Amino acid sequence: MASGRGGGGMERFTSPVSYRVGLYDYSPAVKCPCNRKAPCWTSWSDDNPGQRYYRCPSGLKPGDCGYYVWIDRQTTQYNWILLCDLRDAIWRLRKEKAEEEEEQVQRVQKENGELRLMIVQLEKEKDELKNKMEVKEQLEIKENNYFSCFSSVTLHRLLCLLLHS
């Protein structure tokens, strides 16, 4: 079989399709030499795409008894190429989707940063306007006091003039 196929990277360790049946949802039970029910896996390697097999539940960990049995017969050349191509297409699409999602995350993070800067600037402008309003209100109060005082003095003088005339 051809080498160099597949996506490379972490996606090569994931199944291109979801398991429709649980790893232990089959009968009769097949037990490994450890006397435990062996899960039914599907290979997506270049050599055995789509081929099912039983393996010791400990699988390549301490306590693995080494039980490994193929369920399906070897596929035809046509099916092998088709399964590899479909698997690779799925892995490629997943990779593209992950890259697009990462780009979207980066765009949103950039926009969030820009919006945070705008908020800081707007808060600063709001504070400046608030200070200006307070200064203006103080000036208006002083002007009103001055006008009231001026009006009182002027009114008093007018009354005095009228009374003395």
Domain spans of the chain?
15-75, 76-139
Q: Tell me what pLDDT residue 9 has.
A: 57
Amino acid at 104: Q
Partners of 54 in beta bridges = 40, 69
Termini Cα distance of the chain: 127
Q: What is the pLDDT of residues 4-60, one digit of tens each?
A: 444 455 556 688 887 777 889 888 999 999 999 999 999 999 999 999 999 999 887
8 A C-beta contact, residue 28 and residue 35: no
Tell me the C-alpha distance between 158 and 31, whole Å.
118
pTM of the prediction? Answer: 0.60
Residues 82-100 have a mean pLDDT of 95
Q: Say if residue 2's pLDDT is above 60.
A: no
61 is written with which tokens? 């960990």
